[in-house]
């Protein structure tokens, strides 16, 4: 879809021009909302959080991952499988030093993978996004990995992470695009839809 390509290009350009000091400050602010994230899950709060390691110009998630672990959450990160099925596997986050560079420059755990179904045990799923709109439509990188992974996760458990200026009026979407229920930006956590 050309609209998606245009929006992706604009976001990537804006992210590339974002000063490193602003990215670092954004990471610290994201981490300050860890307790708010954990409070989204019913009952005792989230015990298992599927998340991701932000790379390059993405909002930095390292401080958030560490804050979630410090708050007692068990954090899983995606592992890109080598079978080219577009299916994400999941493994335990055991600290930033225990991540390895994978395909497309992504960072993933070196711990043993737990299988694609491990995401089903997550109380929350924190997903990368390039943009999100108030209806919950999320723009990803375009490979559909997360759309496939989210198919068996309730929308209320899905949280997209973006910079505040990437919450936009409308995100082009198709029937296979899985919406999210929440957005986390350096400005806070907001319900969508």
pLDDT beyond 80 at 143: no
Q: What is the pLDDT of residue 64?
A: 98
C-alpha to C-alpha distances, 8 to 31, 141, 159, 172, nearest whole angstrom? 25, 7, 19, 11
Per-residue pLDDT reduced to its tens digit, 66-78? 999 999 999 999 9
pLDDT band at residue 54 under the 50/70/90 scheme: very high
pLDDT band at residue 123 under the 50/70/90 scheme: very high
pLDDT band at residue 50 under the 50/70/90 scheme: very high
Q: Residue 68's Cα: distance from chain center in Å?
A: 14
What 3-state class would DSSP assign to 184? strand
pLDDT band at residue 84 under the 50/70/90 scheme: low
| Stated pTM of the model | 0.91
Q: What is the mean pLDDT of residues 82-97?
A: 86
Q: Given 3.40.30.10, 3.40.50.10420, 3.40.50.2300, 3.40.50.150, which CATH number is that of 2-191?
A: 3.40.50.10420
């Amino acid at each position: 879809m050309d609209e998606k390509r245009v929006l992706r290009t604009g976001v990537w350009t804006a992210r590339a021009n974002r000063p490193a000091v602003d990215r670092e400050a954004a990471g610290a602010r994201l981490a300050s909302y860890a307790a708010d994230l954990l409070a989204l899950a019913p009952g005792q709060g989230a015990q298992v959080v599927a998340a991701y390691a932000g790379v390059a110009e993405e909002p930095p998630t390292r401080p958030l991952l560490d804050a979630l672990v410090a708050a007692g959450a068990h954090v899983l990160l995606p592992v890109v499988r080598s079978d080219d099925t577009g299916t994400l596997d999941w493994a335990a986050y055991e600290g930033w030093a225990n991540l390895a560079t994978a395909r497309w420059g992504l960072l993933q755990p070196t711990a043993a993978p737990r299988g694609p179904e491990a995401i089903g045990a997550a109380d929350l799923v924190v997903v990368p996004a390039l943009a999100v709109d108030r209806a919950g439509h999320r723009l990803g990188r375009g490979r559909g990995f997360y759309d496939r992974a989210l198919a068996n996760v309730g929308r209320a458990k899905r949280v997209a992470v973006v910079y505040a200026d990437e919450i936009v009026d409308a995100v082009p979407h198709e029937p296979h695009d899985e919406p999210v229920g929440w957005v986390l930006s350096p400005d806070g956590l907001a319900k969508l839809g």
